[in-house]
Structure 1
């Protein structure tokens, strides 16, 4: 009797409990409609839940009732939360779909035309340390970038030439703000360098085409340099070099840091030791002062300030072909200043904000024998932008910027001057859509207007990237790019319109365990290029009538894994470029665009010697030029260019670095073109003078000493 009573009570209580529960069931699928097993399914704020089965099915019971939140979680997928009304004995949940979660680590990235030089990116090509230790670069940012695909080494210039475009087609930015006159002023056929020290920067983004809508005023390429954030310690850095010296001092704490730097260079002592083909009456010299400061503002805000001023000059005689004597004396003096400040902040609601302003001011005084000329150029840039990640699949970039460009040139002895001022305003937006882990689409639009030419324009851009394997992806980029003509042309004709280029780029990128392979094909169409009669020094009838193209492919391979303590990369670029521009009435191969370009860089660290040994080789097939003794334009080509460079970096103590480099070790007589006489001689021949290197080789020796409480600190910590 007692047993029957117990069983009756148990069954009664069980049924009573069952009547107070609800059974939830359903299925969970992926984006393709396939079942997802192993998904954790639970009611938020409770322990009630289960795991989906092989067919994505799930079922569990709960005592909760009313409005609840049902949660679905699976590693690699975005967590899904849906509201449900829990009532009755059963609740059938409609089929639910989990979407893949896209992160910086797992997601595909746009790689067409883009190369990162930051060790914070998974698609590293060059780090800041690579830039300063590339033998042929001798510490110059552009010198290192000339070992990358798509670039051409033009030895008598020193600036960056990309895929059949001249150096003016490369836009240079620091922290997103445009830098005008980023190269030092120099005389004709005397190579120049970038003004800024690579130690300033934590990373470099170099695009050979198809770049972001954030950047404009560049037909070929965007070079974005990003300055360092807070410095990590107090230290002083002393540099003694074969061409000068400098000192840098940093004060830092957890909230702020400031670095003051001063440098002086003078090639006169070096010129006395190494014979130069150039006839310098005063070898190049100059000084610079620089300040870089950073300060944290609140939890997620950062303020940066950068200022630089410098002065320099040279005196050189340049003989004329077919004429006796030392030639005309060119006396050049340059003053340059650059200042910028920018503020960035990540807000709690997911917005990233940026405000920045910069100004570049360049002043040249150039005397050609008794003819005095002046040239002044100023560029102010104001910029505001924001980035918003609406989800892990949709991201927006939106910005507005304004440029004020003033330019003047004159003959002060004659009291003559001509000038212009132009205000340009831009709006741009760019959206990234991650359609899956394997596919991303980027669409951009950049619109601008000019007060000087009264021109308005709109440049659309689009990119696609698809992951074809675990380590490989393909990208496609296309877009329209606009750039105002050079200032010395616009001052002659204020109504000149933008020059234009259309880009189409197909890229394959593969990266695994320290090995990188990159292959890219490209096509550029130029329109509205500047044409004129006469010569570039005295152009007449300037107009937008030129056109042209550049097409080809690049190959890049880097291996930091196979050989112990060895890092090397190989680059090959083929560029087929022709354009009608300047004084050329037909499409010709520009003198700055060799067809075949090969570069090899090798670095090996020898632990026992505490040394890094480096070698770099640059080869191209020569430069086109016009020989007036033959019919046609650009009818001849120089012999091929070759430059083998070696370097040795030695660390005798942790805080002491001794670095030596020698370029063109084999002493090859590289020729970049010819100067011809304006009139033929008695035999009817235009006499010529080869444009070559100032000396067979360039030797550099530097001693870098770091002073700090941490005796192990050195300048490599900055890179």
Structure 2
């Protein structure tokens, strides 16, 4: 009897289970109606499911009943959930189409004219650490970027010159806000540096042309510096250098951080040891105080505040060509910069940014008995929003306003000339991914100037296509406007914008440890400022100049072929001609050498806890006008520029770094041009003085000590 009961219940349950099973089948395709193998298909909240075969087909049985969610999931595609009703023995699903998932890791990025220096992007050209370890850079941001394609080294200037453009044609931004007077003011033939410490920044975006509609007022390029988010730890950093020293202290927790620093430099002791080619009456000196704070706001917001103040100067004797006379050139510079910005993400795909910055610059200049005060201030207010309509389509909208007063004063005479400009801009930019391999970006930027009484609109477009095997190609084109330099506008406030059109074609190959980049470009110039007289005393200023710049550049970086070795090679060819300033014809500017080569090598020796570095820079020389010759303007050229720099970084302890570097190790006598006397001597010759280097070499020794509870912490951890 018991056996009969057991058999009865077994047969009853088996029949119940059989009738309760549902066979689910179907097929999964991609957006091109191609079968998708390997898609996971399952009932949400259960263990019932299967994977598609080579034909994209699937089938499985489930005992679930009623209304359920059927999930389709595969890496690289957006997951899909479909409501199904399980009430019969079979259920055939209509063909399912999965859409590709778009993100920074699997989509093509626009690389035409664009170079990243960060640890976050797959198309990185330089990393933050490279800025402080490139031997020729001496810790200067611009010194590191001068090893990149499209740039030219002008050894007696120090600023960034890009593809035939003057350094004033590069717009510099910190966290999206424009920086006024980003370089330290200098005198005579002494090269300048950027004012800001590279340790402030987590990454840099450098565009050699065709840049985003978010930026403007730059005929050549945009350089966007992005400051660090929350600091990782509390620590102190002490630096003792051959030219001065400084201390920085950071307090940090999970929600906020604060860094305060102070630095002082004075080249007088150094110049007493190293022979100088320039006769300094007072060696360059300076000090700075800096504060940077970050704080999380809400779930997704971050507030950043930064402030900096500094002062410095120098006095030097400048010889006058054709005479035995020298004049005293003096400089005192006071500078302050402050900014605050806040960004956050909102619901429904919105993210917003607001920020404001102010730059205040005062130069007290002396040339013999002439005393000049020059004030140049800039206030920038900006707000922008990004809307992600989908993972394929996003748009950016923004508005910004500038207040820009400028004045020059002859102190003894009490004469003042000035202007106060207000500029307003609207910009928008739209990205659309047709596929993961093809993206299109279009942008518009509109501006107006109260002083120039001018309005303008700049259209810009970029696209990128991922090649089937490796690498990608990008194309960028656009129009760019820039108001003339302040020292010209104060003489003629009716001057209008100069204009440039860019066209760039780029190829980028980036794989594990190897980066290769090649780019061809063409730029046209219109409405450049021309004048009569000299650069020191221009008259009859007009927007009548024009010109072009064309060429190509190559970049190759290898971090894997040789063990513990990282090197990159850059070559740029630039053919630039422009009628500008006092020139009556189109000439090759002195700041635009045709051939530019840069090689950087860094090798880490593990047993010695040392990194050895070498960098070599070359160009074919700088053009100048020789009044002793009867041929055309700017037809003479200096000998080639060559600079071999070496460095050694020693880490005896994790928190201690000793860095030694020397530029122009071979002592090459580089000349950047000549100053000619305004009148010929009795023999009919215009005498000249070469514009050369401050010293044959520059030697730097620095000791950097980090004080922290974490004994492995050092300054490099911040980069």
Relative to the length of structure 1, the TM-score reads: 0.94
For the residues of structure 1 that align with 2:85 and 2:543, how far apart are their CA atoms?
A: 69
Distance 1:541 1:22, change over 3 A: farther
For the residues of structure 1 that align with 2:431 and 2:619, how far apart are their CA atoms?
A: 38
1:148 corresponds to: 148
User: Is this contact kept in 1: 2:567–2:600, CA < 8 A?
Assistant: yes
For the residue of structure 2 that corresponds to 1:608, the secondary structure is: coil
Deviation at 1:302, TM superposition (A): 1.2
1:367-409 CA distance string (max 9 Å, x none) = 1111111110110111111223222212222211111111111
For the residues of structure 2 that align with 1:628 and 1:471, how far apart are their CA atoms?
A: 54
For the residues of structure 2 that align with 1:37 and 1:712, how far apart are their CA atoms?
A: 48
For the residues of structure 1 that align with 2:259 and 2:590, how far apart are their CA atoms?
A: 41
For the residues of structure 2 that align with 1:456 and 1:26, how far apart are their CA atoms?
A: 60
User: Is this contact kept in 1: 2:189–2:694, CA < 8 A?
Assistant: no
Distance 1:63 1:333, change over 3 A: same
Distance 1:164 1:416, change over 3 A: same
For the residue of structure 2 that corresponds to 1:219, the secondary structure is: coil
Distance 1:88 1:132, change over 3 A: same
For the residues of structure 2 that align with 1:589 and 1:411, how far apart are their CA atoms?
A: 34
Gaps of 5+ in 1: none
2:676 corresponds to: 676
User: Is this contact kept in 1: 2:188–2:329, CA < 8 A?
Assistant: no
For the residues of structure 2 that align with 1:39 and 1:349, how far apart are their CA atoms?
A: 28
1:584 corresponds to: 583
For the residue of structure 1 that corresponds to 2:272, the secondary structure is: helix
2:558 corresponds to: 559
1:650 corresponds to: 650
Deviation at 1:343, TM superposition (A): 1.0
Gaps of 5+ in 2: none
Q: Which runs of structure 2 are paired with 1:316-395 in the superposition (5 Å)? A: 316-325=316-325, 327-395=326-394
Q: Which runs of structure 2 are paired with 1:59-78 in the superposition (5 Å)? A: 71-78=71-78
Deviation at 1:257, TM superposition (A): 1.3
For the residues of structure 1 that align with 2:50 and 2:714, how far apart are their CA atoms?
A: 56
2:119 corresponds to: 119
For the residues of structure 2 that align with 1:80 and 1:508, how far apart are their CA atoms?
A: 36
Do residues 525 (structure 1) and 521 (structure 2) align? no
For the residue of structure 2 that corresponds to 1:269, the secondary structure is: helix
Q: Which runs of structure 2 are paired with 1:152-167 in the superposition (5 Å)? A: 152-167=152-167
* Comparing 113-122 and 77-86, the one that deviates more: 77-86
2:217 corresponds to: 217
1:307 corresponds to: 307
Distance 1:55 1:718, change over 3 A: closer
1:303-355 CA distance string (max 9 Å, x none) = 11110000111111111110112x12111111000000111112344322211
Deviation at 1:490, TM superposition (A): 1.2
For the residues of structure 2 that align with 1:163 and 1:412, how far apart are their CA atoms?
A: 38
For the residue of structure 2 that corresponds to 1:322, the secondary structure is: coil
Deviation at 1:273, TM superposition (A): 1.1
Deviation at 1:28, TM superposition (A): 3.0
For the residue of structure 1 that corresponds to 2:125, the secondary structure is: coil
For the residues of structure 2 that align with 1:68 and 1:531, how far apart are their CA atoms?
A: 75
For the residues of structure 2 that align with 1:89 and 1:713, how far apart are their CA atoms?
A: 65
Deviation at 1:443, TM superposition (A): 1.4
Q: Which runs of structure 2 are paired with 1:69-148 in the superposition (5 Å)? A: 71-81=71-81, 94-148=94-148
1:270 corresponds to: 270
Distance 1:359 1:303, change over 3 A: same
1:700 corresponds to: 700
Deviation at 1:52, TM superposition (A): 4.0
Distance 1:334 1:96, change over 3 A: same
Distance 1:656 1:539, change over 3 A: same
For the residue of structure 2 that corresponds to 1:594, the secondary structure is: coil
User: Is this contact kept in 1: 2:203–2:227, CA < 8 A?
Assistant: yes
Deviation at 1:90, TM superposition (A): 7.9
Deviation at 1:483, TM superposition (A): 1.1
For the residues of structure 2 that align with 1:251 and 1:84, how far apart are their CA atoms?
A: 56
Deviation at 1:263, TM superposition (A): 0.8
For the residues of structure 1 that align with 2:55 and 2:298, how far apart are their CA atoms?
A: 50
2:689 corresponds to: 689
Q: Which runs of structure 2 are paired with 1:243-642 in the superposition (5 Å)? A: 243-325=243-325, 327-469=326-468, 471-630=470-629, 631-642=631-642
Do residues 241 (structure 1) and 241 (structure 2) align? yes
For the residues of structure 2 that align with 1:680 and 1:31, how far apart are their CA atoms?
A: 78
For the residues of structure 2 that align with 1:463 and 1:659, how far apart are their CA atoms?
A: 42
For the residues of structure 1 that align with 2:699 and 2:169, how far apart are their CA atoms?
A: 31
For the residues of structure 1 that align with 2:372 and 2:551, how far apart are their CA atoms?
A: 41
1:718 corresponds to: 718
For the residues of structure 2 that align with 1:22 and 1:497, how far apart are their CA atoms?
A: 76
Relative to the length of structure 2, the TM-score reads: 0.94
Deviation at 1:465, TM superposition (A): 1.2
Distance 1:299 1:629, change over 3 A: same
Distance 1:307 1:21, change over 3 A: same
User: Is this contact kept in 1: 2:41–2:70, CA < 8 A?
Assistant: yes
1:188 corresponds to: 188
* Comparing 579-588 and 666-675, the one that deviates more: 579-588
For the residues of structure 1 that align with 2:560 and 2:339, how far apart are their CA atoms?
A: 40
* Comparing 226-235 and 387-396, the one that deviates more: 387-396
